[in-house]
Structure 1
Amino acid sequence: MQPYAADPSLKGKLRRRYARLTHRRPARLMLDRPVVSFTFDDVPASAVHEGAPVLETEGVRGTWYLCAGLFGRDGHMGRFADADDVRRLVSTGHEIACHTRDHIDCHRADDERLSADVTANAATLRELGGTAAHFAFPYGEVGPRAKQRLGPRYGSLRGVHAGLVHDGGDRNQLPAVGIEGDDGETRARAWIDRAVAEKAWLILFTHDVRATPSPWGCTPEALRNLARYAKARGCDIRTVGEVLA
């Protein structure tokens, strides 16, 4: 998989914003406390080998949006996880979710390709013991048609636009905040503070987890610091499926 970015044009930005108004499905949340979910996209192997133990040491688990078509391949974020890594996540209580099989752009893919791709991915992940009940759009690329096609298949669809989830928020286009870049930890802390102030649900996402991460990843220390900070601020840490159950 090569580096790829969401359509940066004004048309692309307007499409993603317009999608938030269409094919909505309210999330009914009854939160006694603010909640934080740690999620991982594409899932480089480093996230499993270095990131998962961090969460487990803190007594929490994450949601992992996997692409079966990337298993064992080398990419710009390092080698990707494989089937054994998925089994390891399942055996230690993490949530396995979908991110398409081949990391395709869900807006550009036609209906036939999109359906075949997500069906194959979910089948593989379920064979490995995952529930594959939730989904994240690769690159955050979403449009009304993709929401309409994928909404009935999953308990939720997640994007990459920053925000918090409140009662009534759209579970077909959940916002998420990236733990990435030099200021990723600082930015995530600020969002945790906002979630506490509003007693809301914050979804965080990252990719590789290693000492020298890619621009899309974070260090194990940053992940550990954020998990501890969320707990210190009185947040529950739950998987996406646990929040929406």
Structure 2
Amino acid sequence: MTPYSADRSLYGKLRRRMARLVTQKPATLSGLRRPLLTISFDDAPVSSARDGAAVLKKHGVHGTYFISTGLSGKDSHLGQYTTADDIRALHAAGHEIACHTHTHLDCGRASSRDIAQELQRNHDALRLLGLPSPRTFAYPYGDVSPAAKGLLNDRYLAARALHHGLITAGSDLNQAPAVGIEGQCGEQTAMTWLDKAARTRDAWLVLYTHDVRDNPSDWGCTPAALDRILDQARTMGFEIVTFEAGARRAQGLPLAHAA
């Protein structure tokens, strides 16, 4: 697949900024004994489901995989996307399977009707695999509109975007910040944000990547880099949680039981 480029025009930037002002779901994160960290994988190429999951297993933690079931098994610039067997295996291992629309739809440009159809198709496909309904979402390309936020508000506990930042009390969980472990500077960027989170009271840091392989794409990282990041996080005392678990903690909700 050819890489798609989200709207980077002035209009697109203004739309994303305007979206931050509406349909907010403020976090009430407080009273943490240690900072939270989430490791998430967008699109879930096979390498993230296998090599990435192996790194998480080494550290005894679980991650969140934002899945677009309509891409399952297809080839792309990120490598092959996860198959149904990969997705089932991730769920069986305790990882969160979350929603990324069915076909990786640009929610900043799409109509509410198209977004709703995509969410339902992804939901139905995951249910057919025997998985529970996804409780969290990530915007493909990080692109968002006020209409998309309004549609997602009651469907998911939280929706993750791509702008950098920490989740603290008052942060909008309908457009939550995240930091990419991607590109040549991805590992150092992640380490910098780990340090910021460790020095911030009641902070939750969400990291994301795509492929996890020795020669990653510009949107991925190596297994060794992911391993070093997790080593550092554990040394710094982070509690490593799935995105759903973090969203529940950020709203004072009980943790969900496995379905």
Fold match (TM-score > 0.5): yes
Equivalent position of 1:125 in the other structure: 126
Q: Which amino acid aligns with 2:233?
A: A
Equivalent position of 1:16 in the other structure: 16
State the shift of 1:130 in Å.
3.9
Q: Which amino acid aligns with 2:180?
A: G
Equivalent position of 1:101 in the other structure: 102
Q: Which amino acid aligns with 2:149?
A: K
Equivalent position of 2:7 in the other structure: 7
Q: Which amino acid aligns with 2:112?
A: D
State the shift of 1:61 in Å.
0.6
Equivalent position of 1:78 in the other structure: 79
Q: Alignment length, in residue pairs?
A: 245
**2 CA distance for matches of 1:97 and 1:244?**
12
Q: Is the 8 A contact 2:109 2:145 kept in 1?
A: no
**2 CA distance for matches of 1:80 and 1:221?**
21
Equivalent position of 1:201 in the other structure: 204
Equivalent position of 1:175 in the other structure: 177
Q: Is the 8 A contact 1:66 1:96 kept in 2?
A: yes
1:232 aligns with 2:230: no
State the shift of 1:127 in Å.
3.0
State the shift of 1:110 in Å.
1.5
Question: 4+ residue stretches of structure 1 with deviation over 4 A?
Answer: none
Q: Is the 8 A contact 2:153 2:174 kept in 1?
A: yes
State which of 142, 145, 152 in structure 2 corresponds to 1:140.
142
**2 CA distance for matches of 1:45 and 1:130?**
21
CA RMSD across the alignment: 1.0
**2 CA distance for matches of 1:224 and 1:13?**
34
Q: For residues 168-210 of structure 1, what are the alpha-carbon distances to aligned partners after superposition, in whole Å with 9 as ceiling and x for unaligned?
A: 2111000000000011000100000000000310000000000
State the shift of 1:2 in Å.
2.6
**2 CA distance for matches of 1:244 and 1:112?**
26
Q: Is the 8 A contact 1:29 1:244 kept in 2?
A: no
SS at match of 2:216: coil
Segments of structure 2 that go 5 or more residues without pairing to the other structure are 249-259
Equivalent position of 1:242 in the other structure: 245
1:222 aligns with 2:239: no
**2 CA distance for matches of 1:126 and 1:193?**
39
Q: Which amino acid aligns with 1:153?
A: R
Segments of structure 1 that go 5 or more residues without pairing to the other structure are none
State the shift of 1:244 in Å.
2.1
Equivalent position of 1:189 in the other structure: 191
SS at match of 2:154: helix
Equivalent position of 2:213 in the other structure: 210
**1 CA distance for matches of 2:17 and 2:165?**
13
State the shift of 1:143 in Å.
1.1
State the shift of 1:57 in Å.
0.9
Q: For residues 90-139 of structure 1, what are the alpha-carbon distances to aligned partners after superposition, in whole Å with 9 as ceiling and x for unaligned?
A: 11000010000000111211122111111110121233324411000000
SS at match of 2:37: strand
Equivalent position of 1:163 in the other structure: 165
**2 CA distance for matches of 1:105 and 1:206?**
18
SS at match of 1:74: coil
Normalising by structure 2, we get a TM-score of 0.92
